[in-house]
Amino acid sequence: MSAESVGLHMPAVVTLRDLAAMIAADSHGHRYETSPEGVLSVMPPPDSEHAAIASRLLVWLAVGGWPAEQILQAAGIRIPGPGGDGGRIPDLSLWSAPQPRTVWLTVADLLLVIEIVSPGSEAIDGMVKRQEYARAGIPRYWVVDRDTAQTVTMHRLGEAGDYEVATTMPLAWLLNTPPAEHLG
């Protein structure tokens, strides 16, 4: 399909309902997200390395005592903004309580968002989502780079409302520590 034909069928304003419909209709597994300012992002499905990192972190959190219904993979999060809500789909999210069955969850009980960097997502994960998640008041944001060490950069929301780097470590090191050590 050409860009012109996509433009003819794209609504003037993409809502979270539109995003949910796009995701449901996509037979290729793409993720559709939008910033609170209305910038549409389309990401390809994760590759096997990406999926393995997400699985390792999920198992680590579960073995560390977090209930499975509070560790969500690829759950939609409503990101409030001054002109409307955006929708992001982090790779993993950790919640203080089980969440209702809905496509776009609010950030009220959200403790941690984890993004695993994929080729081409470096700027969005490192800058754009970092700012959006901080403005939304999400207490912790972790970014897992796909370098040799699979470096995890852990951000904590500071008093000024911006993320501060709490620590950085290889994923293998992180997985040999208890989750409570990093989430307390």
Q: Is residue 139 part of a domain?
A: yes
Q: From first to last of its 184 residues, what are the pLDDT tens digits of the chain? A: 554 545 566 666 778 888 888 888 888 888 888 888 878 888 888 899 999 999 999 999 999 999 999 999 999 999 998 878 899 999 999 999 999 999 899 999 999 999 999 887 777 787 889 999 999 999 999 999 999 999 999 999 999 999 999 999 999 999 999 999 999 7
Q: Is residue 59 part of a domain?
A: yes
Q: Is residue 174 part of a domain?
A: yes
In the three-class reduction of DSSP (H, G, I as helix; E, B as strand; rest coil), residue 167 is classed as strand
Give the ranges where 10-153 is alpha helix by DSSP (H): 16-25, 48-63, 122-123, 129-135
What is the sign of the dihedral through the CA atoms of 88, 91, 92 and 97? positive
The predicted model scores a pTM of 0.88
Q: Is residue 66 part of a domain?
A: yes
Q: Is residue 17 part of a domain?
A: no
Tokens of 7: 């433009």
Q: Is residue 3 part of a domain?
A: no
Q: Is residue 135 part of a domain?
A: yes
Q: Quote the domain boundaries for residue 110.
A: 46-183
Q: Quote the number of domains for the chain.
A: 1
The secondary structure of 135-159, three-state, reads HCCCCEEEEECCCCCCEEEEEEECC
Q: Is residue 108 part of a domain?
A: yes
Q: Are 70 and 98 in contact (CB under 8 A)?
A: yes
Can you give the CATH number for the domain in which 51 is found?
Answer: 3.90.1570.10
